[in-house]
């Protein structure tokens, strides 16, 4: 029977498990990473692993949420105090570069890996995560539109663009490795130019 852990031990073990997931999943992928390997890296038994997470996929979701919190903090800090047009361009480029900055996302963008993760999770887990992303980006974009930026665009559509950016990475092989970065940059630049449009009345009022 797995031993009982103190609160401090539990917190430390969860941190070690998240670290183990960050080290193993980018190398092995979701499907080939085993609970026994995660447990061994964290210094616990395989049986004890299930005292902390229901599955390796549940652990990975927590790692992703941790990365998402860091990404949101990065976005908020980057946009703070910058020119509005620059803020829009920066936000779009962050969408298209997120996968490169987070190794676990790189894994999930590979064929079959996202399916391996989602196949064992409740459908509402993904639905709520996507809805939460939409709310976050809507909170960033709505004030910009209120100032006259993003003229003529539907914000409910714009907040889905990060999903398109991720889907592009999932089609990396189809796009071609030799042209992927150029295609991604061109799409980001084109979107940034379109979203940075201002309504004529607001543009005329700009000193």
pLDDT tens per residue, range 102-140: 999 999 999 899 999 988 888 888 899 999 999 999 999
Tell me which fold the domain 1-53 belongs to.
Arc Repressor Mutant, subunit A (1.10.10)
Task: Count each helix (H run) and each strand (E run) in the chain, helices first.
Answer: 13, 0
Structure confidence by residue, pLDDT tens digits, 24-47: 999 999 999 999 999 999 999 999
Would the pTM of this model clear 0.75, i.e. be above it?
yes
- Are the beta carbons of 144 and 150 closer than 8 angstroms? yes
Residue 53 has pLDDT above 90, yes or no: yes
Average pLDDT over residues 191-207: 77
CATH code linked to domain 63-205 = 1.10.357
Q: Which residues of 68-98 are buried (b: 16+ CB within 10 A; e: fewer)?
A: beebeeebeeebeeeebbebbbbbbbbbbeb
Which DSSP symbol is given to 3? P
CATH 1.10.357 domain position(s) in the chain: 63-205
CATH 1.10.10.60 domain position(s) in the chain: 1-53
The pLDDT of residue 121 is 86
Would you place residue 183 in the very low, low, confident or very high pLDDT band (cuts 50, 70, 90)? very high
Structure confidence by residue, pLDDT tens digits, 2-25: 567 898 999 999 999 999 999 999
Structure confidence by residue, pLDDT tens digits, 62-114: 999 999 999 899 889 888 888 999 999 999 999 999 998 899 999 999 989 99
- Evaluated on CA atoms 195, 175, 118, 22, the torsion sign reads negative
Residue owning tokens 């209120």? 146
| Token pair in block for residue 72 | 């949101």
The pLDDT of residue 51 is 94
Q: What whole-number percentage of the chain has pLDDT above 70?
A: 95
């Amino acid at each position: 029977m797995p031993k009982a852990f103190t609160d401090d031990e539990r917190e430390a073990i969860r941190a070690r498990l998240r670290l183990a997931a960050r080290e193993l999943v980018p190398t092995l992928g979701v499907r080939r990473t085993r609970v026994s390997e995660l447990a061994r890296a964290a210094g616990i038994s395989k049986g004890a692993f299930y005292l902390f997470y229901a599955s390796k996929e549940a652990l990975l979701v927590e790692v992703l949420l941790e990365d998402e919190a860091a990404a949101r903090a990065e976005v908020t800090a980057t946009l703070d105090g910058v020119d509005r047009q620059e803020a829009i361009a920066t936000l779009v480029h962050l969408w298209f570069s997120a996968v490169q900055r987070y190794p676990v996302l790189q894994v999930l963008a590979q064929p079959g890996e996202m399916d391996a993760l989602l196949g064992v999770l409740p459908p509402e887990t993904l639905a709520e995560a996507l809805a939460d992303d939409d709310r976050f980006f809507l909170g960033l974009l709505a004030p910009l539109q209120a100032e006259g930026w993003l003229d003529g665009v539907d914000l409910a559509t714009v907040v889905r663009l990060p999903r398109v950016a991720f889907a592009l990475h999932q089609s990396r092989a189809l796009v071609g490795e030799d042209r992927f970065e150029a295609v991604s940059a061109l799409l980001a630049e084109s979107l940034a130019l379109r979203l940075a449009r201002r309504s004529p009345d607001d543009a005329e009022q700009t000193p």
